[in-house]
């Protein structure tokens, strides 16, 4: 569900939250007081956003960080990402006002209880790349890149991350822990041929949106962004989630996160047909088959990267979803080169 308007703050709202969320809030409060006593200051971590010529969706997160050697230097360090487990020990600052300035418009919103801002801002912008200026009290202003999609755009890419653009090759229960607490972007392995596939599609369709939809946590967004850039994947927003309890349950649902964002993108860009790219080791086929059934006119094709036998064993098996039951073109192969050939055969424009 979009989080344009965070749940109301205050004692009454907190009492209505799940007990796990109240416990997490208490822990955050204790850590925040401790960090502030040590001189840590708020820092806004900007993430890439997207939108149309009439609105943009802006993302950021507010954390407390040690101002060393300066607040601005600390902001740059955090924007580049904190390696490994340190990204999860940073203290989020929830329920604080964040001002957003973009395209001559200025609004103020509240970060959610995890310090995350995900909000929609009405604007008037030309297609292309723009920046939003983000600021909260006590922090240096920072800029978040925003990609604005042209009204005449009729095609785009939505891509999974783990085992689709990067090789994970770990037992599924350990993937998140390994990627989060151990690995940095230099050690991650790109999936063979996928970056070239994406680049060919973007070259043949200039200006199309490329959106990376993952169940990963916002904490690893800077690391994933650097990985994508280092391995020459097209720039685009990451749609991630926040780990831990919600206001009404123990754990967030990764499946709901993906389904909700797919539906939201269909509503936000009703004229775009999406190329959905994923793998057969998680639930991508299930998500994409369901979306294609609900919105067949919004899907140009589905491309599934087939895991090797070893990768599939580590991932807990292959998906059993039969995507071919839909009328949407559905292709699968073990690497980007073979996927490119098959996508060209079903009519997807590739340079």
SS3 category, 67: coil
pLDDT of residue 258: 93
Q: What does pLDDT average to over the chain?
A: 80
The answer to whether the beta carbons of residues 78 and 162 sit under 8 Å apart is: no
What are 40-78's pLDDT values in tens digits?
Answer: 678 899 999 999 999 999 999 998 877 655 444 544 554
Residue 340, CB-side half-sphere exposure with 13 Å CA sphere: 17
What are 164-180's pLDDT values in tens digits?
Answer: 998 875 555 555 555 55
Distance between CA atoms of 337 and 335, rounded to whole angstroms?
6
pLDDT of residue 117: 95
Distance between CA atoms of 207 and 190, rounded to whole angstroms?
24
The answer to whether the beta carbons of residues 223 and 81 sit under 8 Å apart is: yes
The answer to whether the beta carbons of residues 329 and 301 sit under 8 Å apart is: yes
pLDDT of residue 229: 94
Residue whose token pair is 């202003």? 141
pLDDT of residue 52: 98
Q: Answer yes or no: is pLDDT of 245 > 70.
A: no
CATH ID of 11-148, from 2.170.270, 2.102.10, 2.30.30, 2.60.40: 2.60.40
SS3 category, 28: helix
Mean pLDDT computed over 173-192 = 64
CATH 2.60.40 location in the chain: 11-148
DSSP code of 83?
A: -
The answer to whether the beta carbons of residues 74 and 215 sit under 8 Å apart is: no
Relative orientation angle of helices 194-204 and 336-345, to the nearest 10 degrees: 40
Instruction: Give start and end residues of each alpha helix (H) in the chain.
Output: 11-15, 19-37, 71-80, 86-89, 172-181, 194-204, 221-230, 254-268, 284-294, 309-314, 336-345
pLDDT of residue 250: 41
Please state the separation of Cα 217 from the chain's center in Å: 8
Tell me the CATH number for domain 155-345. 3.40.50.1000
Q: Which residues contact residue 55 at a Cβ distance below 8 angstroms, ignoring those fewer than 6 apart? A: 120, 121, 122, 123
By 3-state DSSP, what share of the chain in percent is helix, strand and coil, each rounded to 5? 35, 30, 40
- Burial (Cβ within 10 Å: 0-12, 13-18, ≥19) of residue 286: middle
pLDDT of residue 66: 73
The answer to whether the beta carbons of residues 304 and 335 sit under 8 Å apart is: no
- Burial (Cβ within 10 Å: 0-12, 13-18, ≥19) of residue 250: exposed
If pLDDT is split at 50, 70 and 90, which confidence band does 7 have?
very low
pTM: 0.82
Q: Answer yes or no: is pLDDT of 282 > 70.
A: no
- Determine which of 14-23, 294-303, 334-343 has the lowest per-residue pLDDT on average: 14-23
Distance between CA atoms of 263 and 286, rounded to whole angstroms?
14
What are 209-231's pLDDT values in tens digits?
Answer: 999 999 888 888 888 898 999 99
Instruction: Give start and end residues of each alpha helix (H) in 150-253.
Output: 172-181, 194-204, 221-230
Mean pLDDT computed over 315-335 = 71
Six token digits for residue 304: 């599934």
């Amino acid at each position: 569900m979009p989080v344009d308007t965070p749940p109301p703050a205050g004692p009454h709202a907190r009492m209505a939250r799940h007990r796990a969320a109240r416990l997490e809030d208490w822990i955050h409060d204790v850590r925040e007081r401790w960090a502030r006593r040590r001189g840590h200051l708020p820092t806004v971590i900007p993430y890439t956003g997207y939108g149309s010529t009439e609105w943009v969706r802006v993302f950021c997160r507010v954390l407390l960080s040690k101002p060393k050697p300066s607040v601005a230097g600390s902001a740059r360090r955090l924007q580049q990402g904190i390696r490994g487990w340190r990204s999860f020990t940073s203290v989020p600052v929830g329920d604080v006002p964040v001002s957003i300035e973009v395209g001559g418009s200025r609004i103020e919103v509240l970060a959610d209880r995890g310090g995350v801002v995900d909000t929609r801002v009405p604007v008037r912008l030309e297609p292309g790349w723009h920046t939003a200026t983000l600021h909260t009290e006590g922090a240096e202003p920072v800029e978040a890149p925003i990609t604005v999609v042209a009204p005449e755009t009729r095609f785009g890419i939505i891509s999974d991350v783990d085992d689709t653009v990067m090789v994970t090759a770990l037992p599924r229960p350990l993937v998140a822990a390994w990627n989060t607490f151990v690995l940095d972007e230099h050690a991650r392995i790109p999936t063979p041929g996928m970056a070239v596939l994406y680049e060919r599609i973007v070259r043949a369709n200039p200006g199309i949106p490329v959106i990376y939809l993952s169940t990963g946590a916002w904490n690893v967004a800077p690391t994933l962004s650097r990985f994508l850039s280092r391995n020459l994947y097209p720039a685009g927003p990451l749609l991630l989630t926040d780990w831990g309890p919600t206001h009404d349950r123990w754990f967030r649902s990764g499946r709901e996160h993906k389904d909700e964002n797919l539906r939201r993108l269909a509503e936000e860009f009703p004229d775009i047909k999406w190329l959905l790219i994923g793998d057969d080791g998680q639930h991508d086929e299930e998500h994409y088959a369901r979306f294609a059934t609900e919105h067949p006119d919004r899907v140009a094709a589905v491309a599934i990267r087939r895991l090797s036998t070893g990768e599939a064993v580590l991932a807990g098996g292959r998906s059993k979803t039969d995507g071919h039951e839909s009328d949407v073109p559905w292709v699968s192969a073990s690497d980007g080169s073979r996927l490119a050939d098959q996508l060209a055969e079903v009519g997807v424009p590739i340079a």
